[in-house]
């Protein structure tokens, strides 16, 4: 039984407000196919691949989807990049620090949700009438909070003295340049073709997690996979534009992003930057390399002849950047479960490099921190629905700090200075949200 009812109570305000502030309630908000889905109070959680597979099968993940709200009940959570070690048969012992002590995999089992449609109307859903009533209570509680004044978030970097403080970085500009050169050496030796090099920028944050999430959401309103989760060990706020996996029945869709230029206020300059990205040989080669990797990954689990690329290297506009995106489709074989699909595709090739296994192993040698949930996946699994993002543009709040992952793909002709600037461009929403400047270097 599934219950869907229109909500007719007082205005709950911004969707982020619907997420309870008490982290122990494991409240979350995820944008799914244009809808805002808010949940809280899971009845349990799955924390390993086998349990995830069983729970997804019970929900009927590969069955027909329902009209209306995309999520009425099911699983909502994340897979961190740390899980890639086991999937790629790498050494799972990794002593590098991480931004926060998150489990490798966590999906809460939610029996109800409050869902806002693209036209702004709220709906309450659940596996029963009682569950739908719980979703209604979430919205009523949010409406009470909506009228209260919000305390602004306060930021700071230890030891900073300037008016606009600089964010901290896990790699200095010089260290980043040395890492690019090391990757160039691996490429010259024939070990890899491309390696995605990442770092974390961070700022003190003693305001509410909701305040940071609202700022990030406001800076990136077009993020198809915006998310805000009180997870075990940390709070996550993501404004990812990238689809890791969307399943409609057995039809799999991947939309890798590879290639970035900053946006400009001057329309003429802005269009010139977009055209430069569209025609750049280096970005095009980098992008096609990743599309080929994704086609190969899908080919391992899809029906013969079903994998295709209907859209290749399309320009996509976002508030702070231009991106190159492609769409890769395939029909997953009927004998495979969701665990098989994730094992074949994770982590997304756009955040690894190629060949995938070798590229991931090499990132451990040049990135001083583990990535954590950054470059992992965030999203939902429900009856007739799998919708997971690539967890880029993602901040993790833990122990008074907000950490935000950024980076880019390194190929043979990558310029270290340009790669650093691209990484900082991708973090502009974070700098704006936290009131910090990019790292000095």
Q: Is the pLDDT of residue 88 over 70?
A: no
What average pLDDT does this structure show over 349-376? 95
CA dist list (Å): 427 to 245, 291, 338, 395 = 23, 24, 32, 10
CA 411 – CA 393 distance, rounded (Å): 22
Q: How confident is the model at residue 38 (pLDDT cuts 50, 70, 90)?
A: very high
Which residues carry out catalysis? 242, 258
Q: Residue 156: what pLDDT?
A: 45
CA 66 – CA 93 distance, rounded (Å): 42
Q: Which residues contact 180 (CB under 8 A, 6 or more apart)?
A: 197, 410, 414, 416, 419
Q: Is the pLDDT of residue 159 over 70?
A: no
CA dist list (Å): 261 to 258, 279, 352 = 11, 12, 20
**Residue keyed to tokens 């790699």:** 171
108: left (phi over 0), alpha (psi -120 to 50) or beta: beta
CA 92 – CA 82 distance, rounded (Å): 8
The per-residue pLDDT for range 127-142, each reduced to its tens digit, is 999 999 999 999 999 9
Q: Residue 7: what pLDDT?
A: 96
Distance of CA 357 to the CA centre of its chain: 21
Structural contact between residues 324 and 278, judged by C-beta atoms closer than 8 angstroms: yes
CA 287 – CA 294 distance, rounded (Å): 11
CA 290 – CA 296 distance, rounded (Å): 10
Q: Residue 90: what pLDDT?
A: 66
Q: Residue 411: what pLDDT?
A: 94
The per-residue pLDDT for range 50-64, each reduced to its tens digit, is 899 999 999 999 888
CA 425 – CA 422 distance, rounded (Å): 5
Q: Residue 147: what pLDDT?
A: 67
Q: Residue 157: what pLDDT?
A: 43
What average pLDDT does this structure show over 214-243? 95
Structural contact between residues 213 and 178, judged by C-beta atoms closer than 8 angstroms: no
CA dist list (Å): 166 to 186, 202, 430 = 32, 9, 12
What average pLDDT does this structure show over 205-228? 94
- Measured over the CA atoms of residue 222, residue 239, residue 27 and residue 215, the dihedral's sign is negative
Structural contact between residues 142 and 14, judged by C-beta atoms closer than 8 angstroms: no
Structural contact between residues 374 and 363, judged by C-beta atoms closer than 8 angstroms: no
What average pLDDT does this structure show over 410-436? 95
Q: Residue 271: what pLDDT?
A: 95
What average pLDDT does this structure show over 166-175? 97
Give the helix/strand (H/E) hosting 114: strand 112-116
CA 294 – CA 351 distance, rounded (Å): 11
Q: Which domains does the chain have, with CATH numbers?
A: 3-434 (3.60.120.10)
Q: Residue 12: what pLDDT?
A: 94
Q: Which of 421, 406, 408, 427 minimizes the C-alpha distance to 287?
A: 408
Q: How confident is the model at residue 216 (pLDDT cuts 50, 70, 90)?
A: very high
CB atoms within 10 A of CB 20: 20
For 389, the token pair is 């993002």
Assessment of whether the complete model's pTM goes beyond 0.75: yes
Half-sphere exposure of 249 (CA within 13 A, CB side): 6
CA dist list (Å): 135 to 15, 142, 255, 281, 378 = 13, 11, 32, 50, 21
Q: Is the pLDDT of residue 79 over 70?
A: yes
The per-residue pLDDT for range 253-302, each reduced to its tens digit, is 999 999 889 899 999 999 999 999 999 998 898 899 999 999 999 999 99
For 253, the token pair is 């869709």
φ and ψ at residue 4, rounded to 5 degrees:
-135, 120
Q: Is the pLDDT of residue 161 over 80?
A: no
**Mean pLDDT over each residue of the chain, to the nearest integer:** 92
pLDDT above 90: percentage of residues in the chain: 85
CA 314 – CA 325 distance, rounded (Å): 5
Q: Residue 162: what pLDDT?
A: 38
Structural contact between residues 55 and 109, judged by C-beta atoms closer than 8 angstroms: yes
Q: Which of 124, 133, 128 minimizes the C-alpha distance to 1?
A: 128
Structural contact between residues 2 and 72, judged by C-beta atoms closer than 8 angstroms: yes
CA 43 – CA 348 distance, rounded (Å): 30
Q: Residue 292: what pLDDT?
A: 94
């Amino acid at each position: 039984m599934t219950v869907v009812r229109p909500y007719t109570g007082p205005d709950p305000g911004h969707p982020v407000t619907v997420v309870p502030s008490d982290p122990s309630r494991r409240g979350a908000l995820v944008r799914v196919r244009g809808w805002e889905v808010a949940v809280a109070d899971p009845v349990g959680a799955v924390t390993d691949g086998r349990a995830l597979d069983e729970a997804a099968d019970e929900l009927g993940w590969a069955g027909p989807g329902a009209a209306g709200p995309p999520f009425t009940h099911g699983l909502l959570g994340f897979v961190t990049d740390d899980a890639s070690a086991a999937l790629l048969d790498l050494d799972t012992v990794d002593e590098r620090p991480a931004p926060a002590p998150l489990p490798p995999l966590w999906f809460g089992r939610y029996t109800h949700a409050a869902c806002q449609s693209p036209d702004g109307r709220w709906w309450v859903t659940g596996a029963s009438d009682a569950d739908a009533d719980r979703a209604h209570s979430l919205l009523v509680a949010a409406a009470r909070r909506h009228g209260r004044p919000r305390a602004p978030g306060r930021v700071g970097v230890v030891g900073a003295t300037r008016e606009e403080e600089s964010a901290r970085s896990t790699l200095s500009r010089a260290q980043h340049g040395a890492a690019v050169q090391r990757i160039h050496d691996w490429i010259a030796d024939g070990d890899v073709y491309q390696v995605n090099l990442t770092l974390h920028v961070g700022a003190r944050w003693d305001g509410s997690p909701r305040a940071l999430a609202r700022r990030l959401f406001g800076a990136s309103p077009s993020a198809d996979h915006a998310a805000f989760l009180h997870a075990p060990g940390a709070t996550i706020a993501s404004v990812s534009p990238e689809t890791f996996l969307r399943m409609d029945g057995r039809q799999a869709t991947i939309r890798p992003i590879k290639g970035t230029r900053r946006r400009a206020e001057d329309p003429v300059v802005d269009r010139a930057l977009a055209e430069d990205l569209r025609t750049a040989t280096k970005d095009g080669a980098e992008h096609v390399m990743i599309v080929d990797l994704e086609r190969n990954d899908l080919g391992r689990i899809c029906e013969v002849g079903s994998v295709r690329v209907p859209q290749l290297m399309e320009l996509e506009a976002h508030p702070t950047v231009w991106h190159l995106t492609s769409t890769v489709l395939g029909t997953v074989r009927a004998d495979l479960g969701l665990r098989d699909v994730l094992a074949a595709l994770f982590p997304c090739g756009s955040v690894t490099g190629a060949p995938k296994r070798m590229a991931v192993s090499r990132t451990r040698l040049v990135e001083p921190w583990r990535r954590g949930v950054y470059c992992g996946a965030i999203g939902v699994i429900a009856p007739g629905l799998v919708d997971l993002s690539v967890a880029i543009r993602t901040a993790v709040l833990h122990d008074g700090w907000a950490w935000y992952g950024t980076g880019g793909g390194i190929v043979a002709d990558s310029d270290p200075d340009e790669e650093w600037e691209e990484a900082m461009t991708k973090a502009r929403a974070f700098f704006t949200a936290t009131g910090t400047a990019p790292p000095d270097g």
